[in-house]
Every structure is written in C-alpha cells, then in structure tokens.
Amino acid sequence: MAKTQDIRRRIRSVRNTMQLTKAMKMVSAAKLRRAQEQMLRARPYARSMLRVLRSLASRVVVESHPLLEQRPARRVRVVVFTADKGLCGAFNAGVLRTAEAFVATQREQELSFVAVGKKGRDLIGRRRPLAAEWVDVFRLVEFATAARIARSLIDVQLAREVDAVHLVYNEFKSAIQARPVVQRLLPVEPAQLGAGETGDDYLYEPEPAAIFDALLPHYVENQVHQAMLESSAAEHAARMSAMDSATNNAGELIDSLTLTMNRVRQASITTEIIEVVSGAEALG
C-alpha cells in the first residue's frame, strides 16, 4: 500500500508540472505572435539596407570611410546573442555551438567576445574574458538598446581596436525551426558584381562623407536591432516547442504511472485475497 501511495504522490507532482509547462507554452505562444509580427515588419527594411550597403561597398573606394575599410582581420570581435532565460530547448546550445565552430576557423586571429543575453554571458564568461555584456535586453526589444550596442561596436571599429565584427544569432525560420547564423557586421562586406555589372560609383548629393557618416551608423544599429528581433522570436518559438514537448511527455508519464499504480494495487488485492483464502482453508 505504501508503494501505491508513493506512485500516487508522484502522479500528483507530475500533473502539477504539466500544468506549469502548459501555462508556459501558452505564454510563449502569445509572446511569439507579437515578436514574430515585429520581426517580420522589420526584416524587409533590414535586408534591403544590407543589400544597398553591400552594393555601395563594392563600388566605392574602401578608404572613403573607416566602417568600409577592409583591413586584414587580425583582431575580431564576436557578438553572441543568446536568451536571458532557459527552458527553451536547444536554442542557446545551438548558437553557442555555431560560435565555437566560427572560433575554430579563426585560430590565427585575436578574438574578443560580447555577450548579449544572460545565458551567453554565463557560458562564454566561464571560458573566455568578455569585452562587454548586455543582459535583460530581451524582455522588451527596443531600438534604443540596439543603438547603444551598435554604438559600442562602432566605437571600437573607429578606434581600430578591432578589424572586424561578427554577429552570431538564431535566425527565425518558423515556429518549429531556427537557424544559427554568423553575419559579418563590420566592415561592410562588398557584394560580388555579376558578369554584366560594372564597378562604377554612384552620384552623391551631398558629399559622400556626409552620406556615409549618416548612413553607416544607422545601418549598424538596424542590423543589431534585427538580430535581436530574430533572436527574440526564435527564443519564444523554441520555448513554446520545448514546453509543448514537456507537456506531452508529462502526460505520457502520468499514463505510465497510472498503469503501474493499477498493477500494484491489483497485485496487492490479489495477495490479500490469497491470504484470506489460505487462512480459511487452514482453519477448515
């Protein structure tokens, strides 16, 4: 009987956990809807700006602006976007594996790291020193926060403390899929001109320097903001999927425990009946 009580107690505990995971799934689904709408609205502008800047970088003299200057990448800064919270499946592990794979290709470079998100700060900070960290930024993804992060990256690039900046984040694909990507942020990677294209420069009004001074910082801010939006939407999708799997697993575990409890109870009843019959026969 004590074993039946233990199983019943465990079933109660698993049922409480299942209610929690089901609630977290619903919360993540609501947050995903908002984050996905915000990300999809911003994505066309971010991609168009990246395309224009890459085309621009392929046609201008790279020394015309420090953020376009292509230098040997001896010092590389890697910005890793992770979640501030756990319980989101392989979301954080996937982006960290991608970062480690990228680091493995940069053996001759001097690397520095910036962690955006608590999980990245905790995991990367144990192995490597961090140049900067940004936490509690995904509770509400704001352009002002992205602008501050971008400004710090622009400053080190202008001061020639680093030669290149790369972003590592989860790109949102669907509610069940995200793809970790590595994107070079600075200097702007020139587009490859096609066979029929020429490298002729644009006509500028006003001067090119004034346009670059206004356009390039905004480009960096926009790309950092888009990476945050993509990461936020992918995080909510991963957490919703993980909580859905946890809820289903809890239901299966409850069914299995209930079956076990019924078997134990039936065995206990059978044993008691045998004892009664045996006693009656002994008395007879």
Residue (of 208, 201, 216) closest to 58 by Cα position: 201
* Cis bond before residue 190 (omega within 30° of 0): no
**Predicted pLDDT at 62:** 65
Q: Which domain holds residue 84?
A: 22-191+200-241
Q: Is residue 27 situated within a structural domain?
A: yes
pLDDT of 62-77, one tens digit each? 667 888 888 888 999 9
Determine the Cα–Cα distance for residues 143 and 278; give it in Å rounded to an integer: 80
Running DSSP on this structure, what letter comes out for residue 39?
H
**Predicted pLDDT at 2:** 52
pLDDT of 208-260, one tens digit each? 778 888 889 999 999 999 999 999 999 999 999 999 999 999 999 999 999 99
Binned at pLDDT 50, 70 and 90, residue 26 comes out as very high
**Predicted pLDDT at 101:** 95
Binned at pLDDT 50, 70 and 90, residue 163 comes out as very high
Q: Is 88 a catalytic residue?
A: yes
Q: How far is CA 35 from CA 28, 140, 168, 232, 275, in A?
A: 10, 10, 19, 7, 65
Q: Is residue 271 situated within a structural domain?
A: no
Q: Is residue 10 situated within a structural domain?
A: no
User: In this model, does residue 1 exceed pLDDT 60?
Assistant: no
Mean pLDDT within 43-62: 85
**Predicted pLDDT at 132:** 94
CATH number at residue 205: 3.40.1380.10
Phi and psi of 85, rounded to 5°? -130, 165
Mean pLDDT within 262-272: 86
Residue (of 267, 268, 244) closest to 87 by Cα position: 244
Q: Is residue 1 situated within a structural domain?
A: no
pLDDT of 194-207, one tens digit each? 655 655 667 777 77
**Predicted pLDDT at 213:** 87
Most confident segment among 58-62, 83-87, 266-270: 83-87
Task: Say which of 88, 99, 137, 233 is annotated catalytic.
Answer: 88
**Predicted pLDDT at 254:** 95
Q: Which long-range contacts (CB under 8 A, 24 or more apart) does 43-48 make?
A: 43/226, 43/229, 43/230, 45/222, 46/222, 46/223, 46/225, 46/226
Q: Is residue 91 situated within a structural domain?
A: yes
**Is 110 in a helix, a strand, or coil?**
strand
Determine the Cα–Cα distance for residues 110 and 107; give it in Å rounded to an integer: 8
Q: Is residue 216 situated within a structural domain?
A: yes
Q: What share of the chain in percent tops pLDDT 70?
A: 95
Left if phi > 0, otherwise alpha if psi is -120 to 50, otherwise beta: which for 87? Answer: left
Q: Is residue 205 situated within a structural domain?
A: yes
Mean pLDDT within 22-45: 95
User: In this model, does residue 93 exceed pLDDT 70?
Assistant: yes
**Predicted pLDDT at 269:** 84
pLDDT of 105-154, one tens digit each? 988 889 999 999 999 999 998 988 999 999 999 999 999 999 999 999 99
Count the domains in the chain.
1
pLDDT of 170-191, one tens digit each? 999 998 899 999 999 999 888 8
Q: Is residue 283 situated within a structural domain?
A: no
